[in-house]
Amino acid sequence: MIAPTNASAASTSSSRRSGGRRVAVVGAGPGGLATAMLLAAQGLDVEVFERQESVGGRTRRLEEGPYRFDCGPTFFMMPYVLEEIFAATGGRLRDHVELERLDPMYRLVLGRPEGDDIVLDATADIPEMARRIAKIEPHDGPAFERFMRDNRRKLELMTPLLRRPIRSPLDLISLDAMRAAPTIRPGESLWRHLSRSFRHPQVRLAMSFQSKYLGMSPFECPSLFSILPFIEYEYGIWHPIGGCNALVRGMADRLVGLGGRIRTGCPVEGLRFEGRAVRGLRAGGEDFEFDHVVLNADAGWALRNLVPERLRPAWSDRRIDGMRYSCSTFMLYLGLEGEVDLPHHTIRTSRAYESNLADISQHGRLSDDPSFYICNPSRLDPTLAPPGHSSLYVLVPTPNTKGSIDWSQATPGFREKTLDLVADLAGLPDLRDRIRAIRTVTPETWRGEGIHFGATFNMAHSLPQMLHRRPPHRMPGLDGLWLVGGGTHPGSGLPVIFLSSQITARLLCAEEGLTDPTAPRATSPRDFASAAADPVLAS
């Protein structure tokens, strides 16, 4: 089944289920579609509004001629969470998306101030990974195996907090929270935490670059996020055939199969309130009535632009603008003639890593030697480029638009610098001659798409902006208004955005007197990883 791809293909606003309460979801990104699926499966009448011409939000597909690219996320982890969402609707993820587990998971090219780069191919074979790390520093091989054991317990203790709403400090007064507290070390940075285990600075870097998934520096990121590399090694990194956009297309298909509707190319212009109750929205020049509205748009942008400030005294414009935000990204999407001799994922860190991070988060300037990331999926996935060609995705972390960079002036030179870095890393001195398509995206591009300050990883995940200090799943004092996505608890990244959708759907259904929409849960995430990789078990 194919989901509607434009407003005219969607059902009209007068279409509703008999007696069904009506729910609008603003934004057809992963969080919005997951929430919509769960609500539709409970019998609610759900309609999704998306400003772009296709589903996905930052996870949509970009096309340049015959070349196809993921717009944003390219790493897919913890697939068992999305499998739970499909299962809760009576479906199966594998019926909609084909997943390939990657080995190596990624290649790390670790720059050093002195000497050659260290190249490390990451594998989920834990004893083998320990051996590879020990070649860099003998002490750190066994330390890696201890790290895995410690973080297995840490994630087990933290999971209940990641799966439920944290609305106030009172929600942290629980047996689960008390059990988890000793492992979290709230005042300790990720880098300092890893320094307790690993001696070699490049090994610590290999276990902390994942803080960039949150748009943060490991020198500022809280130590609890040591679970990120653990999750990679424990449950693997996966490629959905067709790119990560295939996930949201599969979700859209499932939603339509449940009776939900999707309007693409239909930006929401405002919400309609009666007193402190939301009563609908205006989109595409039309007025629509709804009993609930779920905001899956960028949290900062959505609150400032769709909800009158007088109705959100706890989340004033001043408070929203005054929060810390993640970095942004400079992107190149390159359609190339010929193949590229790089793994699926390659991360190259700056030789002056701390200085590069300070340029991004403190000085608001571009570095001479930036870290960057290349995704080269066409070697595995023939759907993304013509035979004998490659679709190359390049990401460079940069300051967000709170800084003073004039991207209209900076873009040409920085694009050339980035092409030089890619050509050098990929061993392609003729890179420019092989380019058949190119698209450039800057922080200003992201800002123009309704991402507050162009901060592509949302509000920063510093300790003062976590748990109940993030925008809530249910807006306090307002009836019928909900939030979901990376701006809410537990935060950014596809797996935790799916957890956020479970929380929002559960709270909304409870208010409507409906059953918990999120059961059943995966009995064993490791069992899912094994089954998905085995065509016999997966059938």
Q: pLDDT 10s digit of each residue in the chain, 539 long? A: 344 444 433 333 333 443 579 999 999 999 999 999 999 999 999 999 999 999 999 999 999 999 999 999 999 999 999 999 999 999 999 999 999 999 999 999 999 999 899 999 999 999 999 999 999 999 999 999 999 999 999 998 888 888 888 777 766 677 677 676 677 776 789 999 999 999 999 999 999 999 888 888 899 888 889 999 999 999 999 999 999 999 999 999 999 999 999 999 999 999 999 999 999 999 989 999 999 999 999 999 999 999 999 999 999 999 999 999 999 999 999 999 999 999 999 999 999 999 999 999 999 999 999 999 999 999 999 999 999 999 999 999 999 999 899 999 999 999 999 999 999 999 999 999 999 999 999 999 999 999 999 999 999 988 788 888 899 999 999 999 999 999 999 988 899 999 999 999 999 999 999 999 986 665 456 655 544 444 333 33
Distance CA 274, CA 486 (A): 28
CA 201 to chain centroid, in Å, comes to 27
Q: What pLDDT does residue 520 have?
A: 61
CB of 92 within 8 A of CB of 415? no
Global pTM reads 0.92
Closest CA to 240 of 94, 41, 411, 30: 94
Domains recognised in the chain with CATH numbers: 7-61+72-100+241-323+459-538 (3.50.50.60), 125-235 (no CATH), 327-452 (no CATH)
Q: What pLDDT does residue 539 have?
A: 31
Query: What SS3 string covers 69-133?
Result: EECCCCCECCHHHHHHHHHHCCCCHHHCCCEEECCCCEEEEECCCCCCCEEEEECCCHHHHHHHH
Closest CA to 333 of 409, 203, 436: 436
Q: What pLDDT does residue 463 have?
A: 78
Q: What pLDDT does residue 521 have?
A: 62
Distance CA 77, CA 532 (A): 13
